[in-house]
């Protein structure tokens, strides 16, 4: 853990001219087209865009799970070709081992890395303390709430001192209140570790609250539509969401994303015989479905 806190200069993610195509011939899908993005060491960057625009695909490439069709992804100048302990990954699904206690779950990666029991124990307990879960160290995952499970997922991903944390809609399954608390806990943890984070979300407020920068993607094939800096001071506090600065950013992002959500939904809207992009299809209008 101390190592991760000290290594503020590592964790540069550099994605260049990335293209990803799935399938072939009639089944060919261009998921991502000519995407370049970066995450500077210690920076918190979000990717936001309509469903199916390639966010998870991009994150999977940086994680080393998927190979791009063109372009490349580098971490600290080294080409990413496979998963590695330098990247911690947190998904929406909790993916904890149900047969292991909370502490053993956090210790798992350390055990794989060959760390001796006493050091594993000390590190896991320090991390659980940080996530305010030390008193649950001997519980099992099915005894915990969704928010608690996801906090364990986060500290487990941090246990092996990765240079970057890759998060794919980690709070997507949580209720609104839990989600807001989780966002504050995550910013607190991130401030302490200061590692690079690439974060995927559908939630505009969440992306602003957490991020230093936000990349907005187009509808598929996913390209970068805009790069938005978030000049809000740190540490972020829940009250900031009521400030004009925050609300202006929400409006800006909503405008950008509405266009892309409509583009993504256009065939669906036409199939239903609904024409006109201003048409309301729900209580808040089609753009707000995003």
Ligand X SMILES: Nc1ncnc2c1ncn2[C@@H]1O[C@H](COP(=O)(O)OP(=O)(O)OP(=O)(O)O)[C@@H](O)[C@H]1O
**Closest distance between ligand X and the C-beta of residue 12, in Å?**
23
Q: What is the CA radius of gyration of the chain?
A: 20
Rounded distance, CA 145 to CA 253, Å? 31
29 scored as a contact of ligand X (CB under 6 A): yes
Stretch 91-120: interaction string toward ligand X, x if CB under 6 A: ------------------------------
Rounded distance, CA 246 to CA 152, Å? 29
Question: 217 or 249, CB closer to ligand X?
Answer: 217
64 scored as a contact of ligand X (CB under 6 A): no
Rounded distance, CA 276 to CA 280, Å? 9
Rounded distance, CA 161 to CA 178, Å? 26
Question: 68 or 109, CB closer to ligand X?
Answer: 68
57 scored as a contact of ligand X (CB under 6 A): yes
Stretch 188-227: interaction string toward ligand X, x if CB under 6 A: --------------------------------x-------
Rounded distance, CA 106 to CA 123, Å? 9
Candidates 35, 44, 55, 115: give the one binding ligand X (CB under 6 A).
55
Rounded to 10°, the helix 176-193/146-158 angle is 20
Rounded distance, CA 62 to CA 79, Å? 10
From 9-17, 53-61, 113-121, 250-258, give the range in contact with ligand X by CB under 6 A.
53-61
167 scored as a contact of ligand X (CB under 6 A): no
Structure tokens at 180: 């807001």
**Closest distance between ligand X and the C-beta of residue 239, in Å?**
29
- Dihedral sign from CA coordinates of 271, 274, 279, 281: negative
> Total residues contacting ligand X (rule CB under 6 A)?
13
Question: 220 or 236, CB closer to ligand X?
Answer: 220
**Closest distance between ligand X and the C-beta of residue 236, in Å?**
24
From 54-62, 95-103, 270-278, 282-290, give the range in contact with ligand X by CB under 6 A.
54-62
Give every CB contact of residue 2 below 8 A, 6+ residues apart in sequence.
Answer: none
52 scored as a contact of ligand X (CB under 6 A): yes
56 scored as a contact of ligand X (CB under 6 A): yes
**Closest distance between ligand X and the C-beta of residue 22, in Å?**
3
Helix (H, G, I), strand (E, B) or coil at 177: helix
Tell me the pairing of strands 70-75 and 78-79: antiparallel
134-141 long-range CB contacts below 8 Å, 24 or more apart?
136/102, 137/101, 137/102, 137/103, 138/101, 138/102, 138/103, 139/101, 139/102, 140/98, 140/99, 140/100, 140/101, 140/102, 141/94, 141/96, 141/97, 141/98, 141/100, 141/102, 141/105
**Closest distance between ligand X and the C-beta of residue 263, in Å?**
13
Question: 57 or 161, CB closer to ligand X?
Answer: 57
31 scored as a contact of ligand X (CB under 6 A): yes
Residues at the interface with ligand X (CB under 6 A): 22-23, 29, 31, 49, 51-57, 220
């Amino acid at each position: 853990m101390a190592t991760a806190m000290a290594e503020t200069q590592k964790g540069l993610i550099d994605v260049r001219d990335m293209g990803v195509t799935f399938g072939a011939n009639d089944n060919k899908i261009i998921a991502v087209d000519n995407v370049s993005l970066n995450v500077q060491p210690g920076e918190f960057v979000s990717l936001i865009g309509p469903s199916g625009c390639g966010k998870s695909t991009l994150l999977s490439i940086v994680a080393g799970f998927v190979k791009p069709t063109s372009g490349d992804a580098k971490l600290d100048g080294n080409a990413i070709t496979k998963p590695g302990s330098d990247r911690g990954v947190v998904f929406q699904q909790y993916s904890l081992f149900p047969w292991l206690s909370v502490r053993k779950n956090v210790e798992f990666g350390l055990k794989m890395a060959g760390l001796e029991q006493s050091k594993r124990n000390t590190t896991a307990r320090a991390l659980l303390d940080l996530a305010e879960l030390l008193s649950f160290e001997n519980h099992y995952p099915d005894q915990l709430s969704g928010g608690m499970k996801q906090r364990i997922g986060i500290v487990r991903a941090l246990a092996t001192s990765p240079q970057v944390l890759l998060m794919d809609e980690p709070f997507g399954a949580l209720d609104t209140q839990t989600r807001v608390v989780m966002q504050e806990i995550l910013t607190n943890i991130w401030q302490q570790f200061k590692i690079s984070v690439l974060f995927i979300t559908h939630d505009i407020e969440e992306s602003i609250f957490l991020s230093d920068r936000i990349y907005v993607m187009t509808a598929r094939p996913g390209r970068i539509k805009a790069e938005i800096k978030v000049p809000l001071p740190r540490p972020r506090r829940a009250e900031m969401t009521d400030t004009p600065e925050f609300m202006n950013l929400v409006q800006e992002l909503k405008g950008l994303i509405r266009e892309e959500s409509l583009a993504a939904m256009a065939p669906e809207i036409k199939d239903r015989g609904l024409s006109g992009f201003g048409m309301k299809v729900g209580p808040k209008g089609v753009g707000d479905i995003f």
